């Protein structure tokens, strides 16, 4: 959080003590988890969401809390558009389920998780072919390997997956490092997108991705808020795709605010991820679920429904205490920064 942003925020007005801890089951294992956990925090401008994954340390979690504080205190920049095109998200599921998810989504772009285990190629190809069948010839397919391949594996697999897809829009983070991304980009005809290389960089404002990728995937929740993410997007110097961090509608609203504030937005965004959760803390019609492949941009943060907060209140009191202790530690780190 910059000094300028910090000076305009009254952190003392945020009700940290009254934060609610939630636990929402997931429809399918995603990113190795079956339950999404987090906290909802109320401030003078509404609610924010603090939901760093359980395995993230306190230092990494600082930016997640900065995003929540920005949202519930000062809000976001004025939007430049009132709706955002959305991709559906297809987890590492069988081809029939992949076809169903895509066909029911109403989206014209699909992002497919691949490479979830070392011998996944045959499954990946079948999943991609099923999604292409569901989308038809004019839909866009992008795949996400989460940085697990080496350069040679990435090159070989991208060529096969591109053929199965009858053309890929892009491949997201095929390898871990910037140098590996650049090497893959030189050897394939498919566009490369950088995600982890940006948000996990020591300084996302200075990471040199322009020579290693064609597209920047920006996630405002782990980057410290909408305003900072706009600066990261500008520094990347690439077309941007805004993607979620598996938030509820409360946190997703910040991601939508970022997508709405970008000077240019040429690609569908990965913000249709509520479909991965069994429920939400926000009731309809405020719940941020795509309609006909688009999400409307909310003018203010959605307000959690009290009955839903009770429904998804974390039942494990020991673990809920762990979350509250975590919030206290991370807040203390922000106060000292």
Number of H helices, E strands in the chain: 12, 12
Among residues 111, 163, 219, 299, the one annotated as catalytic is: 219
- Which helix (H) or strand (E) covers residue 153, if one does? helix 151-164
Task: Assess contact for 64 and 37: CB atoms under 8 A.
Answer: no
219 catalytic residue (yes or no): yes
Residue 194, phi then psi, degrees to nearest 5? -105, 130
260 membership: H or E segment, kind and range: helix 249-261
Active site residue 111: no
Q: Are 241 and 268 a contacting pair, CB within 8 Å?
A: yes
Pairwise CA distance, residues 241 & 257, whole Å: 13
Q: Choose, from 111, 113, 163, 187, the residue flagged as catalytic.
A: 113
Cα 228 from Cα 153, distance rounded (Å): 35
CA distance 223 to 12: 22
What is d(CA 97, CA 92) in angstroms, rounded to the nearest whole number? Answer: 10
- Rg, C-alpha atoms of the chain: 19
DSSP category for residue 288: -
* Catalytic residue list: 113, 219
């Amino acid at each position: 959080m910059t000094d300028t942003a910090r000076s305009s925020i009254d952190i003392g007005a945020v009700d940290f003590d009254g934060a609610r801890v939630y636990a929402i089951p997931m429809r399918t294992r995603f990113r190795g988890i079956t339950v999404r956990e987090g906290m909802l925090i109320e401030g003078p401008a509404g609610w924010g969401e603090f939901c760093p994954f359980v395995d993230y340390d306190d230092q990494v979690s600082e930016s997640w809390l900065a995003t929540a504080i920005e949202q519930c205190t000062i809000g976001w920049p004025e939007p430049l558009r009132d709706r955002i095109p959305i991709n559906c998200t297809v987890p590492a599921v069988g081809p029939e389920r992949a076809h169903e998810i895509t066909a029911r989504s109403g989206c014209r772009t699909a992002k497919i998780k691949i490479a979830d285990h070392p011998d996944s190629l045959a499954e990946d190809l079948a999943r991609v072919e099923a999604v292409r069948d569901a989308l038809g010839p004019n839909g866009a397919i992008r795949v996400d390997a989460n940085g697990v391949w080496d350069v040679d594996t990435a090159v070989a697999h991208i060529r096969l997956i591109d053929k199965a897809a009858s053309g890929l829009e892009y491949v997201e983070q095929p390898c871990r490092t910037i140098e590996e991304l650049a090497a893959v980009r030189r050897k394939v005809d498919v566009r490369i997108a950088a995600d982890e290389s940006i948000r996990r960089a020591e300084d996302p404002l200075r990471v040199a991705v322009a020579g290693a990728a064609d597209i920047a995937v920006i996630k405002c929740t782990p980057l410290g808020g909408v305003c900072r993410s706009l600066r990261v997007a500008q520094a990347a110097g690439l077309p941007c795709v805004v993607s979620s961090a598996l938030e509820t509608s409360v946190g997703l609203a910040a991601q939508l605010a970022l997508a709405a504030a970008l000077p240019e937005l040429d690609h569908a965004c990965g913000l249709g991820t509520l479909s991965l959760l069994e429920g939400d803390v926000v009731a309809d019609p405020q719940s941020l679920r795509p309609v006909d492949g688009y999400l409307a941009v909310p003018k203010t943060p959605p307000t959690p429904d009290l009955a839903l907060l009770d429904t998804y209140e974390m039942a494990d009191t020991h673990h809920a205490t762990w979350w509250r202790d975590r919030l206290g530690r991370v807040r203390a780190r922000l106060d000292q920064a």
